[in-house]
A and B are shown apart, each in its own frame.
Chain A
Amino acid sequence: MLTCDQYHMPTSLADALALWQDAPEGTRLVAGATDILPWAREGRAGNVHLPAMIDLSRVPELDGYTVEDGRIRLGANVVYQQFLTDEKLRALLPCMPYCSIWFADDQIREQATLAGNIVNASPAADGTPPMLALNGELEIARLEDGDISHRTIAITDFIKGPGSTDLQPGEIVTAVICDTLEGYGGSFQKVGQRRSLVISSVCAVACVKLNEDDGTVADIRLALGGISPVPLRLTKTEQMLTGKRLTREMIVEAARQPADLVASRTRREYRRVVVRGFVEAAIEDALADCGAAVPNTDTRETANV
């Protein structure tokens, strides 16, 4: 059971930062709280007593999103359900509805935030691979001589390993900033032991845009989660496919390489097989999502994963 002496709900970023800076040792920041409550149970952390919890969900500076120059700033309070219900977000981030529908369930998506998912730095986080594919950064705030100062850091640099990040004492993640990919097709693949509410064994994301004149690949983004200590962007595979007219053979070939990246300690062979099928399926589903013709799928590896 999780217990605490103080539960704070600051209503401005300045208050939140001040509370956090002066918080007693062991204080935790809380966003949706959907991870911390199950964590403090028998079999995981057991009974946990915290001196204080600082809940960020009422900090207005963390709400909503803004779009500028092909980038979107998603406030740290943006919850997963918004990627399903907000039509503008669906258009700007075409892979996120698919990622979101695989994430937990309707109830938890109303509470759980993308920022919180990334900060937890789980190797299996569903939200991190899409953000790698979209060149994601985190906006981080801290107090400096009483004033709020910000820094940004690429998510690839922020996540150091399972549960380990670059967040410094006194810092609060205020936003996730990433590319907008309007007009791209998006997709997300995930496998776990149950459809809803399951931690990914493997997940894969793809975003694709084709040149209108000749149907060649104008841009493709691919990333994988669950196969190594930190999620991976598949830069080599992306380079291999950019500028090409995609054929069945090419997709199969592209899907072959990433299997070698599987570095999980458990179920390695299984994950290698899944990765191959998932990269293939992710590319094809993203093509279908942007209305492109999909190469013959009769021989597809993941007809029914």
Chain B
Amino acid sequence: MSEQTPTDLQLEFQINGRNMKRRAKPHQRLLDFIRDDLALTGAKEGCGAGECGTCSVFVDGKLVKSCLMPVAKANGTKIETIEGLTGWGGDLTPVQKAFHKTGASQCGYCIPGMVMAATSALRENPKADIEEIKERLGGNICRCTGYTKIFEAVEMARDVLSGEASATVLEADGPGKSYIGNNVRRLDAPSKVSGRLRYAGDMVMPGMLHMQVLRSPHAHALIKSIDTSAAENLPGVACVITSDDVPGEDGFGVFVHDQPIMARGRVRYVGEAIAAVTADDVLTAAHAVSLIKVEYEPVAAVFDAEEAMQNGAPVVHDYAPDNIVKHIPIRKGDLEQGFAEADLVVEQTYETQAVEHAYLEPEAGIAYVDHDDVVTVVSPSQNITHHRHMLAKIIDRPINKVRFIMSPVGGGFGGKEDMIYQGMLALAAMKTGAPVRLVYTREESIISTAKRHPARITYKMGLKNDGRITAVSFRMICDGGAYGLSTEGVMRKAAILSCGPYNVPNLEIDVYGVYTHNTPSGAFRTFGAMQSQFATESHMDICAEKLGLDPFEIRRINMMHDGAVTHTQQTLGSVSMGRVLDAAEKACRWDTGPVGMRGQERSDLGGDDTRPPCTLGARFRKTGDDDRQEVA
């Protein structure tokens, strides 16, 4: 911190039609100012780096990203936020109604920014065509919708505003005789398209303190000492917590409770929480974090799951000396005989990488101890009941003195199933007696929370010349990272679905979730099936090519039918695989070509139902221009 005292800015501006005179800190961004000082929380912070557009507001009629604008630049301007489009309690605008109508808002976190970008697009060019709309919304990211419903909404609003379509198209469709097959508007959409819905990071409480977290720079190190005295003595700091502050049985996880609230004697991945500071404001808390002294002794680490399974590899958790989180074996038939019957045996190894969920809402939460001594945590948890039970043990309180409130989830995709930060919030609220809020930065979210399991799959398949599968050996090794989280469940599902919807008389499946010193892996949409299906379907294509079969044909030969028994002995009453293949073949306009290839026609490309490549420069393209300047 500098010795000089920051000089406050004196600002005069108009916001949403109201004149204001305020002081601001010199470093504040416009986004901080409108959210923290003016309590207008419709604009969100999805990334803080200008990448996602959730913070878009109008300044003097021009749409800008308020996370990239120092607040001083707004002095003397007219600012319009999403709250200003309608005014509080006012009627939704046609753009907002169209978002409601088409189902464009799902988690809703990107939606205020999307509505602002759509409003800007139609203000700049009321006749914008779809290409121009896409281009003008290019600075905004959505992770739920795939954008189609958003673009549909903008086109609908354009037509209503220009009079090309009647305003009645914005109204709800009747459900008819059934809700099934009819569009039904979401109940929560008005709160999302108007920016009124408050996510955890938008919530404030009187006397609220702010938390910042010290994280490990090492993948594997022993913690020799933690000196928090300088941080604790900094004016404005309310408390510093470490694992020493945990009163009960420290450990959480969806299956095995192997993860402490904060590192206990040892850090196991880069980004693991070690200590947390609670202070009057985020800046003070961040400054205090930098004053905590930790003495580490780095020790050997292991970053590859297969290496971690070898004898002598560094051990991640003492309870699991072989580093195995979970091994799921499945056996059926006689593998040796199956391969002996085969005319062809094909072996390949497939690898997939870690994937970040990148929900638009970074983790956030607020905790307090209420008047009846109930420790309460408000957060976008995807698993609050389980969290509640785990936290009760960790803080050694009866279950009726622990409460979890689920705030709106601004995208989760499985990534918010783990109790990564709620424990720290609870401990700090208990220690200070005040409400405590923690809002992750995007960087913090990426470095410290669960990812999709990276997998290495060795596939060996035996087939007859006519395409029938005789045997499969499937060995999948997944990098579970430093803690168990959902690994056990993910492994189980990967194993159950490993060989896909195909009849395999003889098989041997081994799926391993393995500890390493990488970022922990956890739940992510499909829960392990994506990795195994990538291998299975790739392998089917390769085998089809080797046998001279059409890729659809090899699947039809091996697919399960009504009454089939799965590899885990479940009888399936009805199997839609045949219909799915027929529909897929038709929809992609598949031409059977030479062995294992598509036909020459490529009639799958460029049809009405395909999404054309995005063009650039739609707004100034001269009529008659061909498709130059396009990108795929």
Q: Show the binding face of A for B, using Cβ within 8 Å.
A: 1-7, 9, 30, 32-34, 37-38, 41-43, 47, 49, 51, 53, 55, 57, 81, 84, 90, 97-98, 101-102, 104-108, 110-111, 187, 191, 195-197, 284-285, 288, 304-305
Contact = CB atoms under 8 A, between A and B. Distances in A.
Given A5-B2, A102-B616, A37 B138 contact: no
Nearest to A187: B629
Nearest to B134: A195
A102 B283 CA distance: 36
A37 B63 contact: no
B599 to A, nearest CB: 20
B68 A33 contact: yes
Contacts of B6: 3-6
A2 B620 contact: no
Contacts of B56: 107
Nearest to B66: A107
12 contacts: A7-B26, A7-B27, A34-B65, A37-B50, A41-B441, A51-B4, A53-B70, A55-B72, A97-B617, A107-B56, A111-B64, A288-B628
Given A33-B70, A108-B68, A197-B50, A98 B441 contact: no
Contacts of B630: 304
Interface string B38-62: 0000000000111101001000001
B631 interface: yes
Interface in B604-632: 613-614, 616-617, 619-620, 625-626, 628-632
Contacts of A42: 441, 443-444, 447
B548 to A, nearest CB: 30
- A-B pairs with lowest CB-CB distance, top 5: A105-B139, A196-B138, A7-B26, A38-B49, A42-B443
B69 A111 contact: yes
A185 to B, nearest CB: 11
B107 interface: no
Given A4-B26, A108-B50, A110-B64, A305 B70 contact: no
A108 B626 CA distance: 28
Interface of B: 1-2, 4-7, 9, 26-27, 29, 48-51, 53, 56, 62-65, 67-70, 72-73, 75, 117, 120, 135-136, 138-139, 283, 286, 290, 441, 443-444, 447, 613-614, 616-617, 619-620, 625-626, 628-632
B631 A195 contact: yes
A47 B49 contact: no
Contacts of A197: 50-51, 138-139
A38 B441 CA distance: 12
Q: Which of B4, B63, B72, B625 has the most A CB atoms < 10 Å from its CB?
A: B72
Q: Binding site of A, secondary structure by majority: helix, strand, loop or mixed?
A: mixed
Nearest to B140: A105
A107 B632 CA distance: 23
A152 B629 CA distance: 34
A37 B49 contact: yes
A5 B49 contact: no
Given A5-B5, A9-B75, A84 B139 contact: no
A106 B63 contact: yes
B626 A41 contact: no
Contact of B136 (A106, A187, A284, A285): A106
A42 to B, nearest CB: 4
A38 B68 contact: yes
A187 B620 CA distance: 13
Nearest to B121: A106
A101 B616 contact: yes
Contact of A7 (B51, B70, B447, B625): B70
A9 B616 CA distance: 35
A107 B283 contact: no
A37 B29 contact: yes
Given A34-B68, A41-B48, A305 B632 contact: yes
Contacts of B9: 7
B50 A34 contact: yes
A51 B138 contact: no
Q: Which of B48, B70, B631 has the most A CB atoms < 10 Å from its CB?
A: B70
Given A7-B9, A55-B70, A288 B4 contact: no
Contact of B50 (A30, A38, A84, A102): A38
B50 A98 contact: no
B631 A5 contact: no
B630 to A, nearest CB: 8
A97 B138 contact: no
A5 B6 CA distance: 4
Contacts of A305: 631-632
A195 B629 contact: no
Given A84-B620, A110-B63, A111-B68, A1 B139 contact: no
B190 to A, nearest CB: 25
Given A4-B27, A42-B444, A197-B50, A108 B1 contact: no
A281 to B, nearest CB: 8
A104 B64 CA distance: 12
A153 B102 CA distance: 55
Contacts of A32: 68
B141 to A, nearest CB: 9
Contacts of A37: 29, 49-50, 67-68, 70
B620 A97 contact: yes
A200 B48 CA distance: 21
Contacts of A98: 616-617, 629
Given A7-B26, A7-B27, A42-B441, A105 B53 contact: yes
A191 to B, nearest CB: 8
Contacts of B286: 1, 47
A53 B120 CA distance: 30
Contact of B135 (A51, A101, A187): A101
Given A7-B26, A110-B64, A30 B70 contact: yes
A2 B138 contact: no
A90 B620 contact: yes
Contact of A304 (B49, B283, B632): B632
Nearest to A197: B51
B26 A285 contact: no
Given A33-B70, A106-B63, 17 more contacts: A7-B7, A7-B9, A9-B75, A33-B69, A33-B73, A34-B50, A34-B65, A38-B50, A42-B447, A55-B70, A81-B62, A107-B63, A107-B117, A108-B139, A111-B64, A284-B628, A304-B632
A116 to B, nearest CB: 12
Q: Which of A6, A7, A108 has the most B CB atoms < 10 Å from its CB?
A: A7
A39 to B, nearest CB: 9
A9 B630 CA distance: 41
Nearest to B29: A37
Contacts of B614: 195
